[in-house]
Amino acid sequence: MTIIDVVKDLAEHKEIEKIINNIGKGSFDNVDDLAQDLYVELMDTPHKAEKYIRMYKDGQIRYLLVCMVRNNLFSKNSRYYYNYQRWIDNKSPELTDSDIESDSENYHNYENLIEGNA
């Protein structure tokens, strides 16, 4: 058995997606993205592959997956946060017509200054 076999079985049974939905109580929009990132992370750690395979065979892989999901969902240092959540957290406010007019006026003032028409 290889780590690819382990990840393939976990993905077929949607184990990580189930954990994300349980921990997040269905409130996270990027379940598939986070799950894919975690499946990739499992395969991108060849130095830990034997440990993961052993945990899978012993029926303890779920504990590892729960820790990985929790760390990614609730840490501002996680790959998930940097790829997805920070963009959601830092939504810029919607522009109003007055914002657009003000920016347009500032641009024209700057343009006139550059051309020497100020």
Determine contact, residues 47/75, Cβ cutoff 8 Å: no
Q: How confident is the model at residue 107 (pLDDT cuts 50, 70, 90)?
A: low
Domain extents in the chain: 3-91
The whole-number pLDDT of residue 24 equals 79
Give me the percent of the chain exceeding a pLDDT of 70.
70
Top pLDDT among 89 and 37 is at 37
Euclidean distance between the first and final Cα of the chain, in Å?
74
Q: Give the tens place of pLDDT for each residue, 13-45.
A: 999 999 999 997 777 778 888 999 999 999 998
Looking at residue 2, what DSSP letter applies?
-
For the entire predicted model, the pTM comes to: 0.68
Q: How confident is the model at residue 9 (pLDDT cuts 50, 70, 90)?
A: very high
**Which tokens go with 99?**
């914002």
